[in-house]
Amino acid sequence: MTAQVITVTSGKGGVGKTTAVANLANALAMDGKRVVCIDGDIGLRNLDVVMGLENRIVYDLVDVIEGRCKLKQAMIRDKRYPELYLIPAAQTRDKNAVSPSDMVRICNDLRADSDFVIIDSPAGIERGFRNSIAAADRVLVVTNPEVSAVRDADRVVGILEAEEKGSPALILNRLNPALVRNNDMLSAEDVLDLLGIQLIGIVPEDETVIIGSNRGAPVAADGKSRAGQAFRNIAKRLQGQDVPFMDLEPQSGLWSAIQKITGRK
Amino acid sequence: MNFFTRKRSASSAKERLQLVLIHDRTDLTLEEMEALKDDLLKTIARHIEIDPEAIQIGLEKDGREQRLVADIPLRGAARRRAG
Ligand SMILES: Nc1ncnc2c1ncn2[C@@H]1O[C@H](COP(=O)(O)OP(=O)(O)O)[C@@H](O)[C@H]1O
Ligand SMILES: [Mg+2]
């Protein structure tokens, strides 16, 4: 095995990076992959609660780097799956506790016996972001269909290109199809045209995401959640499968049939 | 604003972002862009006869690449051809 190291980043905070990491990791683990997530947001640990693993933390990333434990000891296993692990972020205030070369070393150690290493990057373009992209084979940029998020995503894409990290793929999160239909939200086409990068998935605005976070149970495992479906599709694309993009119109079936009959659209 | 007459906000968002991104990517402010255009015009005018009114210089986007595109009709040549 030799893992693909995937970093999820965004520029702007609060757009759904941690949500995406937790859900992609769950979806990949459901597909039988061996997955290790790393919370790269030093000082603002979050991925543990979103994944529902917060009560099991003993060691963290900085403990590994500073030699207080072995890498394996900092890997918390998610017992719902055979092979899903989290390396939590430290809650230290020292932002310099981690360097890009530390991340490269840890990821290289993980590569040998995993399929995917997924890194949750902090917002911004500072040290934590640099650490998070250092080992990446592939970068996913998350944005929302909203001016400030798109602008910040563009900055990050520019930096990734300058660092020769290759062109990242876009996750457009929290798209509201009704607003797009009314022309009051940027569409996926608009955002792709503005950013000029490839699309890997569109995740609808979906309240099940918040319910899932509340419970520490990412919605990728919920067969009825539309956002969960979107994340499962992205996970398939990461495995090289060609999955068509979902139809995001919420009222499929009866309602759209009525609209067709009455000529409304 | 009236529901029927207001311009839908997605198009303003897109237009505004298009401009902002061009300037973010090139690190050029609108003012710096104007100064660059002026300098270009002056330099060109030292060599050939041009009509400053007919000239168009601007940034264009091609995927993630930005281009400085100049369209400069040559007055002298055009007149000569017309005889
Ligand atoms: N598709 C979605 N639909 C609804 N809420 C979402 C969606 N994606 C993320 N959220 C919510 O948005 C908030 C920020 O998400 P988070 O993943 O923490 O962002 P980041 O890690 O980029 O700061 C959280 O409360 C999360 O539950
Ligand atoms: Mg986060």
CA distances from A176 to A66, A147, A249, B19 (A): 44, 15, 9, 24
pLDDT for residue B4: 55
Residue type, position A117, single letter: V
pLDDT for residue A264: 47
Atom of ligand 1 nearest to the CA of A173: 1
What CA–CA distance (Å, rounded) separates A121 from A129?
6
pLDDT for residue B77: 53
Residue type, position A146, single letter: E
pLDDT for residue A248: 81
**Nearest protein Cα to ligand 1, atom 26:** A210
What CA–CA distance (Å, rounded) separates A230 from A249?
13
Chunked into runs of 10 residues, chain A (265 residues) has average pLDDT values of 94 97 98 98 96 97 96 98 97 90 98 97 96 97 98 97 93 97 96 96 98 97 97 98 86 54 50
Dihedral (Cα; A158, A162, A163, A169), 10-degree rounding? 40
Q: Taking 60 as the threshold, does the pLDDT of residue B81 lie above it?
A: no
DSSP string spanning B18-39? HHHHHHHHHT--HHHHHHHHHH
Atom of ligand 1 nearest to the CA of A204: 1
**Do A186 and B20 count as a contact with CB atoms less than 8 A apart?**
no
Strand positions, DSSP E, chain A: 4-9, 35-39, 76-77, 84-87, 116-120, 138-143, 169-175, 198-204
For ligand 1, say whether the CB of A9 is within 6 Å of any of its atoms: no
Atom of ligand 1 nearest to the CA of A227: 1
- DSSP letter (8 states) at residue B52: G
Domain extent listing, chain A: 4-264
Give the pLDDT band of residue B76 (cuts 50, 70, 90). Answer: low
DSSP string spanning A45-89? --HHHHHT-GGG----HHHHHTTSS-GGGG-EE-TTSSSEEEEPP
Nearest in space to A229 (alpha carbons), one of A214, A244, A211: A244
Q: Which of B9, B11, B24 sits opposite A154 (nearest CB)?
A: B24
pLDDT in tens, B3-33: 555 678 999 999 999 989 988 998 888 888 8
More confident call, A132 vs B55? A132
What CA–CA distance (Å, rounded) separates A97 from A60?
12
For ligand 1, say whether the CB of A222 is within 6 Å of any of its atoms: no
Chain A residues within an 8 Å CB radius of B20 = 151
Nearest in space to A113 (alpha carbons), one of A1, A232, A195, A253: A1
Topology (CATH) of A4-264: Rossmann fold (3.40.50)
CA angle A123, A124, A130 (to 5 degrees): 95
pLDDT for residue B27: 84
pLDDT for residue A221: 97
Which helix (H) or strand (E) is B70 found in, with range?
strand B65-71
The percentage of residues in chain B with a pLDDT greater than 70, rounded to a whole number, is 83
Burial (CB < 10 A; 0-12, 13-18, 19+), residue B3, is exposed
Q: Is the Cβ–Cβ distance between A228 and A251 less than 8 Å?
A: no
Any idea which ligand is nearest the CA of A22? 1
Q: Which of A146, A154, A185 sits opposite B21 (nearest CB)?
A: A154
pLDDT for residue A73: 98
Complex ipTM over 0.90: no
The structure tokens listed for B19 are: 């401009």
Number of H helices, E strands in chain A: 11, 8
The structure tokens listed for A74 are: 């900092």
What CA–CA distance (Å, rounded) separates A129 from A160?
11
More confident call, A259 vs B53? B53
